[in-house]
Structure 1
Amino acid sequence: MEGLSPVSIVGAPYNSLQIGTVVAFSITYFFATFFLVLRYIQAVKIVKKFELDLAILTLAWGLGMYYMITLVQLMRVGWARHMWELSLEDLMVFNDILLPNTLTYLITPAVTKMAMLVVLFQINSSVIYRVVVAAMGISIFAYTLTLTSITGGPCNPKNGAGTTKCLMNVAFAQAILNIASDIGVIIAPIPTILSLNLSLKQKMSVLVLLAVGSAVVICSIARTPYVKALETATDLTYQEGILGVWSLVEINLGIVCGSAMRLKKLITTWLPRLGLGTSGGRSGGATPFGSAGTTLKGTGNNSQLGGKGPYQLHSIQKESGGNESTDKILV
């Protein structure tokens, strides 16, 4: 089939895959924006503090929008279209603007996970725990920096022939590393959470957060076969379109999860009937990823705690028959 000119591709109507991509982005980005706005409402109206993880999530949100903008630019020259619809000129322009899109996807999931690690670092004062969380952050930064450097250097699509295989190798390596780091971020807080005497509502809140986090992992896993399939794909631009849908959903779900981790104070303040505090007493925000000011029960009287930081894990000693026991809570 004779190749179409770049002008005819630009003027061509969007196909079903391209339209589906826009719809998938619109839905998931709406939820990402909604949860991020709730975080800002909490920061301004309730906590009255602009926290580091919120700043990082805002950066991820902006990168998510830029990623979609680059996809739309690529659509105009053949992304998510069949190879036989494109001319040589289309493919040349496609390669010229592919680099910003690729770099944005490499960076954005790492930024989102950094925001989560900032929160996780603060929920347990154990040296071992904090070393593990810090090590995960350093590892994520290191492999992201390495892959972006390779992509912008020897794998740069503008370099022409030979870069396609290089980009595929980078994409596959990043997919595997993403899955491993996603699982690590989910697993890291579980021992701390299990050590707490949580109410049923608190446990349900944790399960919901882990479920959202698992959805991010599922997206990472689901897109991996499509990355691998690029090696033998004959319809490369269309295959990349399918891969892009999973990528943008993964990015936006990560922002949702990162924002939802810190919404406890907003819920207990504005929606008391949906509060996740300790049953049988007034909740002051004791929850995984919650806020300061928790009332403990079971000590004979209520003890109000003040913390050094909003997520510091404290130990409260209580005497019972001359022996000391330790109750751990997140405050």
Structure 2
Amino acid sequence: MGHVLPRNSGPSNFSHGWTSVQVAMVVTFSITFTLSTASLVIRYVSSAVIVKKLEIDVILITIAWGAALGHFLGLLLVFPYGLGQHVWDTDPAELPEFKKRLLAALAPYVVCPAMTKLAILSVLYRISPGRWFRIFTYSLALIISVYTIVFIVILAGPCNPIEPNGSTCIGIGAKTHAALNITTDVIIIILPLPTLWKLQMPFRKKLVAGGILTLGSAVLLASIARAPYVAMLANNGDFYYTLAKSAVWSMLELNLGIVCSNLMRMKPFISRYFPRLAARLGLSLDDSAGYREGTTASHVRVAGLSHASQLHRIKGGEGDGMPEDSHSENPHAERYGISMDNRSLELDNRSTESILRQ
């Protein structure tokens, strides 16, 4: 984080008047944090009043919300020491204090997206009972947790801004962290799509369900937009100003991630307080109707075959019309060759309907 000579021949500005990028940071955070707070309040209402159940995603997204606030407050405390100023407008004597305060702002940034992703995965985990789907979801959650812990440890050690090479290390670490965040965002977007594709439900409802379940990683665009600024941090002569530009996108990334995660679980709130909008979007909470739409074709065929078989047995004198083989573990599979894949699809339907209702 070396200093360079002033670009202009005029005197350096050590008064630390607010720059346009500092204003952009405050305005961006104020707007997006208001949205994230509103979405979190709605999530609390859904959890406490409508669903009446505290789930882990509520806890995780609350931690993410607190980390986003902590990140912004930490950056605000760095403003007087040069963050958002051009390097030629800063006082070299303030560099040690800049580094100390920067560390307090960076740790919450690492925590926030991790908590948001884990909150989303805790929801996606329940959309399918498939063994491999759940193993993959668990594995992805573990990977996110591990690299988050690693980055926090690195920040406290070799990438500590106070260390001699800390600034260069932060630049390299920031690029790695951004790449991991973008990669995991893409995976989380793709993760529920195969399950949704298999569901036996109207295409319009399938699109709505897919949109809801992939909302949580819509923040990917902000992460990608931030990436070029992160790439410039390593060995950048105007580190103070470039870091602030990156932070503007960080505000957008963190808070929109929280908003999108909460939107995934907003169906009960919309259905309760905006029923017309819910009906228009196909978000009705009519469980019986929803389940009928979600029932697999094979399940319908099984019901029809069972009824026809009983009539045939009565007419043929083979029985008295009582249900057949009630002791059998899976009479439909044994008598009509229904595969367990169809049963799995039916369970997927029920799981997805359950998630979208809550």
Q: Indicate whether the TM-score tops 0.5.
A: yes
Q: Which residue in the other structure is 1:46 paired with? A: 50
Superposed CA offset, 1:171-211 (max 9, x none): 11101111111111111111111122334553443454467
Q: Which residue in the other structure is 2:286 paired with? A: 284
Give the one of 269, 284, 306 matched to 2:272: 269
- The answer to whether the 8 A contact 2:84-2:242 is kept is yes
1:74 paired to 2:70: no
Separation in 2, partners of 1:217, 1:298: 30
Give the one of 123, 128, 147 matched to 2:127: 123
Unaligned runs of 5+ in 1: 287-292, 300-314
Determine which structure has the larger helix proportion and give its number.
2
Separation in 2, partners of 1:61, 1:198: 35
Q: Which structure 2 residues correspond to residues 298-309 of structure 1 after superposition, within 5 A?
A: none
Evaluate the alpha carbon distance shift between residue 278 and residue 198 of structure 1 in structure 2; reply closer, same or farther with a 3 A threshold.
farther
Separation in 2, partners of 1:167, 1:276: 49
Give the one of 165, 168, 173 matched to 1:170: 173
Q: Which residue in the other structure is 2:292 paired with? A: 296
Superposed CA offset, 1:33-68 (max 9, x none): 111111111112111112110011111111111111
- The answer to whether the 8 A contact 2:222-2:249 is kept is yes
- The answer to whether the 8 A contact 1:267-1:274 is kept is yes
Deviation at 1:231, TM superposition (A): 2.3
- The answer to whether the 8 A contact 2:229-2:245 is kept is yes
Structure 2 residue matching 1:230: 3-state secondary structure: coil
Q: Which residue in the other structure is 2:246 paired with? A: 243
Separation in 2, partners of 1:36, 1:158: 36
RMSD across aligned positions (CA): 2.6
Code of the aligned partner of 2:184? S
TM-score (ref. length: structure 1)? 0.83
TM-score (ref. length: structure 2)? 0.77
Structure 2 residue matching 1:158: 3-state secondary structure: coil
Evaluate the alpha carbon distance shift between residue 210 and residue 233 of structure 1 in structure 2; reply closer, same or farther with a 3 A threshold.
farther
Which protein shows a greater Rg? 2
- The answer to whether the 8 A contact 1:29-1:252 is kept is yes
- The answer to whether the 8 A contact 1:60-1:111 is kept is yes
- The answer to whether the 8 A contact 1:71-1:101 is kept is yes
Give the one of 255, 258, 261 matched to 2:261: 258
Q: Which residue in the other structure is 2:312 paired with? A: none
Deviation at 1:126, TM superposition (A): 0.7
Which structure 1 residue ranges, 4+ long, deviate > 6 Å from structure 2? none
- The answer to whether the 8 A contact 1:277-1:283 is kept is no
Q: Which residue in the other structure is 1:139 paired with? A: 143
- The answer to whether the 8 A contact 1:283-1:295 is kept is no
Structure 1 residue matching 2:218: 3-state secondary structure: helix
Code of the aligned partner of 2:303? E
Code of the aligned partner of 2:118? M
Q: Which residue in the other structure is 1:192 paired with? A: 195
Q: Which residue in the other structure is 1:289 paired with? A: none
Code of the aligned partner of 2:89? E
**Bigger mean CA deviation after superposition, 165-174 or 190-199:** 190-199
Structure 2 residue matching 1:194: 3-state secondary structure: helix
1:319 paired to 2:303: yes
Provide the aligned length of Structure 1 versus Structure 2.
303
